[in-house]
A and B are shown apart, each in its own frame.
Chain A
């Protein structure tokens, strides 16, 4: 366990929230209202479009394997699982936990996972079918035992918690597609009660939850949607809600000083970076020295401190706590002199003008300001940024290689969806050379045969140890060559709750908003 993770756990322990874990649960009682900043669109894991959807359906649906509050992977709906070899093709063999019930009362069986698999891989239904692309077939051994046969090795599949959500086949057969999405039924700690778009999601604690030691102690939970930061803060301050997510960075200090309020910060595995065009020979960043100059030009620490109020963690290619994290791999130090020298060396003594695209409808706090600051630093050493803003709709397709037109400068980007797996999937997307139609390098403006080979190897590797080593290796090369962009920071998300609330943060895959253990103090 890294230092970073240890300190986080210590903080959690210190907050006194963990103490409730071991006790025999009492039936859930009482009502609690909390507020989220963002809203889900779909509550159907197959149709969900955005990572934010998981904040919501992650309360209702569960997966085979999941991280616990200390980010350790534990078997969850799977009693046990292993990767086996079947004549050179990998197979994942899963034994299900018995006695797990859906909210309808039906017992969870391998049939349900077969259904989930078929639904998730159907590209007419699912947005996540590509995650199942390397699966060859799904085999039911007995009601609590199934095997997933692969065409070739798929490291991400393992890294991403086996990717299967427990969805009730019986329920689907009964209500059909439309209702299935509207009234979700899962195995999770919370039962769906009602949802009003743009307003709230009402949940009820699931009494028959299979894991009674780790379930909510409050009966009714209402999640309000309050997108505007200060309004959400005001809602908390006025007592309308007792728990909020995404405390604005500027106000974290103020919240810490508030009496009767607990504040906890968690690193989000969203990895922010500044992508840059390195494939076009006419663009200066084609030259590795220019990319290094850019890396030296930006004082990321100062930006985190100044712009983000410290609510960010700097990372070099792989964040602390992730597979392949290498504490010895350091980010480029801020050194404008060296940056200028590198530019001169690369043949740009007077710098150059370059378009820089910034996201103006932020997905993470102060993302826009962050971009502005980065571009200002670049400009200061001679990489003169012509900033152009992009709203979300444009931004989301902007980096894609199958879009007409091409990227000719810097643009702010991030990776992290589908995590916490590891860096493999993301790198396949934005570091590997673009191969049309093959899924490689879909947002990549980089091309490096050595890295390509390593990333392909990583993709096929399902063994965790081997992956760890590979990732470290790639990360070092990536860092040295500033390949696939300049890594900056990972945002920190801060939750605040009143002292009448008990809360232990569980990471919904990647985003920390799992209300597995939330309750009212007795």
Chain B
């Protein structure tokens, strides 16, 4: 187990470093922050001096090494725009984004599992049809549309939920739905097909042959087996939600990393972009690691393989 974990961590580290290089390079292709930073009539000397101060005059690989070395020490540089440590800017926003991503994921799983299971058990049934239409809507409507419709209906019309902001449970319901609706379709599909495969399997047939009640077969025996492929995807979905949250964050005025990074890109605030993306990569690696660990809980065979 520890050896396996170590291996995964090392691989994750490679990914994180790779991601940081990629982001570092493309970010620098996207334009020069100096002109955004400096006053309109900045002299060429001032421009040169500022470049030197920010280290932007060095060759790219050198800049990257400096960045990487400092990052190892927890220093991701200062935001050009916010004039504060980029790390702090990102870390302050991170909890809200993680909370949103987790709730979005919980929403999608909470819909996908029952719908997927029931539509595998009774294809063409009520849940199957309704569930698929529901899932399809999430897949065909961009999050900003979903978000606005939710606000118009649940906040403005019904006044059940607050229209915006970060706070208690009631605040997170609509953002979580707006974020979590999109992957419902894909997750339902996974659960449904995994359930169909499991329900076709020998051990389920044996359970039936031994008189196991159907609800027991479906919700206890088969679901746990079907959870494995869903789990595999959850790590990837979690990362996608972290990264894709900016639309929802904007719509619901949610104080998260997504918006911060988007604005940082617009203002070529490289340290913030780098720190933001790096932390999302780290979360991606960590969430995949968690998924790997969760496998072991759900599937004892995998436990043994390590």
Instruction: State if A and B touch, Cβ cutoff 8 Å.
Output: yes
Cross-interface CB contact of A197 among B155, B249, B255, cutoff 8 Å: B255
B196 contacts A by Cβ under 8 Å:
no
Cross-interface CB contact of A429 among B40, B83, B259, B266, cutoff 8 Å: B40
* Cβ contact within 8 Å between B43 and A231: no
* Overall SS of chain A's interface: loop
A104 contacts B by Cβ under 8 Å:
no
A86 contacts B by Cβ under 8 Å:
no
* Cβ contact within 8 Å between A392 and B83: no
Alpha-carbon distance A436/B255, docked complex (angstroms): 41
- Of the candidate stretches B108-116, B160-168, B280-288, the one touching chain A is B160-168
Residue on A nearest B148 in the bound complex, by CB: A230
- Of the candidate stretches A121-129, A245-253, A346-354, the one touching chain B is A121-129
Question: How close is B225's CB to chain A, nearest CB, in angstroms?
Answer: 42
Cross-interface CB contact of B46 among A123, A196, A429, cutoff 8 Å: A123
B35 contacts A by Cβ under 8 Å:
yes
* Cβ contact within 8 Å between B260 and A198: yes
Cross-interface CB contact of B251 among A196, A228, A361, A439, cutoff 8 Å: A228
> How many residues of chain B get a CB closer than 8 Å to chain A's CBs?
49
Known contacts: A42-B82, A133-B41. The answer to whether A231 contacts B35 by CB under 8 A is no
Known contacts: A393-B265, A394-B31. The answer to whether A199 contacts B255 by CB under 8 A is yes
* Cβ contact within 8 Å between A240 and B162: yes
A225 contacts B by Cβ under 8 Å:
yes
Residue on B nearest A181 in the bound complex, by CB: B83
- CB within 8 Å of A: which B218-271 residues: 249-256, 259-260, 265-268
* Cβ contact within 8 Å between A127 and B163: no
Question: How close is B274's CB to chain A, nearest CB, in angstroms?
Answer: 15
B133 contacts A by Cβ under 8 Å:
no
Alpha-carbon distance A292/B265, docked complex (angstroms): 38
Alpha-carbon distance A397/B266, docked complex (angstroms): 11
A330 contacts B by Cβ under 8 Å:
no
With a CB–CB cut-off of 8 A, which chain A residues contact B147?
A: 231
With a CB–CB cut-off of 8 A, which chain A residues contact B148?
A: 228, 230-231
A402 contacts B by Cβ under 8 Å:
yes
Question: How close is B80's CB to chain A, nearest CB, in angstroms?
Answer: 9
Annotate A202-246 by CB proximity to B: 1 below 8 A, 0 otherwise: 000000000000000000000011111011101101101000000
* Cβ contact within 8 Å between A198 and B164: no
Question: How close is B199's CB to chain A, nearest CB, in angstroms?
Answer: 44
Cross-interface CB contact of A198 among B47, B156, B259, cutoff 8 Å: B259
Alpha-carbon distance A41/B83, docked complex (angstroms): 9
Question: How close is A419's CB to chain B, nearest CB, in angstroms?
Answer: 14
* Cβ contact within 8 Å between B81 and A41: yes
* Cβ contact within 8 Å between B40 and A224: no
B10 contacts A by Cβ under 8 Å:
no
Question: How close is B47's CB to chain A, nearest CB, in angstroms?
Answer: 8
A461 contacts B by Cβ under 8 Å:
no
Residue on A nearest B158 in the bound complex, by CB: A238
A231, A403, A439, A443: residue with the most chain B Cβ atoms closer than 10 Å:
A231
A49 contacts B by Cβ under 8 Å:
yes
* Cβ contact within 8 Å between B253 and A443: no
A130 contacts B by Cβ under 8 Å:
yes
* Cβ contact within 8 Å between B165 and A240: yes
Alpha-carbon distance A182/B83, docked complex (angstroms): 10
Question: How close is B131's CB to chain A, nearest CB, in angstroms?
Answer: 29
* Cβ contact within 8 Å between A397 and B164: no
B9 contacts A by Cβ under 8 Å:
no
* Cβ contact within 8 Å between A128 and B151: no
Annotate B40-51 by CB proximity to A: 1 below 8 A, 0 otherwise: 111110110000
* Cβ contact within 8 Å between B265 and A198: no
Cross-interface CB contact of B38 among A127, A361, A429, cutoff 8 Å: A127
Residues of A within 8 A of B (CB): 41-42, 44, 47, 49, 123-124, 126-130, 133, 178, 181-182, 196-199, 224-228, 230-232, 234-235, 237-238, 240, 361, 391-394, 396-397, 400, 402-403, 429, 436-439, 442-443
Given contacts A44-B83, A235-B164, A394-B31, 15 further A-B contacts (CB under 8 A): A130-B41, A133-B41, A198-B254, A198-B260, A224-B253, A225-B253, A227-B250, A228-B250, A228-B251, A234-B156, A240-B162, A361-B266, A393-B265, A393-B268, A396-B36
8 contacts between A and B (CB under 8 A): A49-B81, A198-B93, A198-B249, A228-B148, A393-B31, A396-B35, A403-B35, A442-B40
- Give the 7 A-B residue pairs with the shortest CB-CB distance, closest first: A439-B41, A198-B255, A234-B163, A199-B255, A397-B35, A226-B253, A130-B41
